[in-house]
A = this chain, B = another copy of it.
Amino acid sequence: MLNVGVIGTGVMGAEHARLLRREVAGARLAAVCDTSMDRAETVAQGARVFADAHELIAEVDAVVVASPDATHADYALASIALGKPVLCEKPLAASAADGLRIVEAEIAGGRRLVTVGFMRRFDPAYVEMKRELLSGRIGRAVILHNIHRNVSAPDWFTGAMTITNSFVHEIDISRFLLAEEMVDVQVSAAPGDDPLMITMRTDAGTVVSSEVNINAGYGYHVHAQIVGRSGTVEMAPPAVVTSNLAGHGRLSYASGWVPRFADAYRRQMQAWVDGIVDGRPVGASAWDGYMTTAIAEVAAGAMRSGERTAIRLPQRPPFYD
């Protein structure tokens, strides 16, 4: 039974804690930590409560980081230092430079300990799309269409946050689906820089076309389609029922990513726990987390210039093969 500690008990931390208590085999919620002790107590439901994240890291078998973005790198590095597996909510770090430090620390430690919580990799639809591509039935991928729509952005969402906060999911899932690296990026923005249409090309020549729309209005909607040389595969509408009402046939969209990706979050947590027990790394690695942040930084520049911009990043270290 793996004793897991959760740092941060906001929306995502509370959800991770709930999964550990109620839906995941082989692990238990051993401890939580938050700057708000009240919130921590509510989420703990009997688990130990820490005010200091570093103390929590020292006391548990494995760590989930769901605290504010700016703290991720610090807790990831602390987990590595103590040899504790860590599932870190995205982003791995606030900058590519910080992400690279985590990569270097992990390599120096000689053990794969970091998983970045890009939960889409565990969503059954993305998994099935990748399986279909690998089956060869649709031929070699030539285009990947991504659509990422949020109902509405909070007030503090400004400038390049559409890229650094939302589009990072497309960067990661595109690398996951295609197993190719991005070589350039070009951004076309609608009025007010919202929504964005972002075109990337990979080292194999595949075109990745992404709509990132943080004020779609009608619902939270994520879609993807891989176009191959002989066919395509795409997500089905993510609804378990449809209805007929008031003149319309209809299906309901989720209100946000937690309900939409509920099963992906659960599968990610179960796979992470199983992977620790079995000694296998699962999910997005520290390297993936670094690359995503680094590509997002280039894309933010491309958004300002409007020009096609080359992405020049280091080769993947053999450690992550």
A interface residues, Cβ below 8 angstroms from B? 1, 20-26, 124-125, 128-129, 132, 137-139, 142-143, 145, 186, 188-191, 194-195, 197, 199, 201, 204-207, 209, 211, 213, 215-219, 221, 227-237, 239-253, 255, 263, 270, 274, 306-308
Q: Are B253 and A242 in contact (CB under 8 A)?
A: no
Contact status A217-B231, CB under 8 Å = yes
The answer to whether B142 and A191 touch across the interface, beta carbons within 8 angstroms, is yes
A239 to chain B: which residues have CB within 8 Å? 236, 249
Q: Are B219 and A248 in contact (CB under 8 A)?
A: yes
What residues of chain B lie closer than 8 Å to A26, measured between beta carbons?
A: 22
Please, which residues of chain B bring their CB within 8 A of the CB of A20? 25
**A235 — which chain B residues lie within 8 A by C-beta?**
240-242
Distance from A35 Cβ to chain B, minimum over Cβ atoms (Å) = 28
Number of copies: 4
Taking CB atoms, residues of chain B closer than 8 Å to A308 are 186, 306-308
CB neighbours of A221 from chain B (8 A): 244
Indicate the member of A231, A237, A252 with the most B CB atoms within 10 Å: A231
A81 to B23, CA, bound (A): 30
Chain B residues, Cβ within 8 Å of A219: 244, 247-248
A249 to B, closest residue via Cβ: B251
A124 and B251 CA atoms in complex are apart in Å by 14
Interchain CB contact under 8 A, B236 and A241: yes
What are 25 pairs between A and B in contact, CB < 8 Å?
Answer: A132-B241, A132-B243, A137-B243, A137-B245, A188-B209, A190-B205, A216-B227, A216-B232, A217-B228, A218-B231, A219-B248, A231-B244, A231-B246, A232-B245, A233-B242, A233-B243, A236-B240, A236-B242, A247-B255, A248-B250, A249-B250, A249-B253, A306-B308, A307-B308, A308-B308
Quick check: A236 and B237 within 8 Å, CB to CB?
Answer: yes
Q: Chain B's nearest CB lies how many Å from the CB of A93?
A: 30
**Chain B residues positioned under 8 Å from A231 (CB to CB):** 217-218, 243-246
Which residue from chain B places its CB closest to the CB of A1 in the assembled complex?
A: B1
With a cutoff of 8 Å between Cβ atoms, the chain B residues found around residue A255 in the complex are 247
A50 to chain B, nearest CB (A): 22
- Closest CB in chain B relative to A227 CB, distance in Å: 7
Q: Is the CB of A237 within 8 A of B209?
A: no
A100 to chain B, nearest CB (A): 29
Q: Choose one: B190, B230, B243, B307; the contact of A234 (CB below 8 Å).
A: B243
| Given A22-B26, A233-B241, A249-B250, 14 other A-B residues pairs in contact with their CB atoms under 8 A | A1-B1, A124-B240, A129-B241, A143-B197, A145-B211, A190-B206, A221-B244, A235-B240, A236-B236, A247-B253, A247-B255, A248-B248, A307-B307, A307-B308
Complex Cα distance, B236 from A297, in Å, reads 37
How far apart are the CA atoms of A276 and B274 in the complex, in Å?
25
For A190, the chain B residues whose CB sits under 8 A away are 142-143, 205-207
Q: Is the CB of B253 within 8 A of A232?
A: no
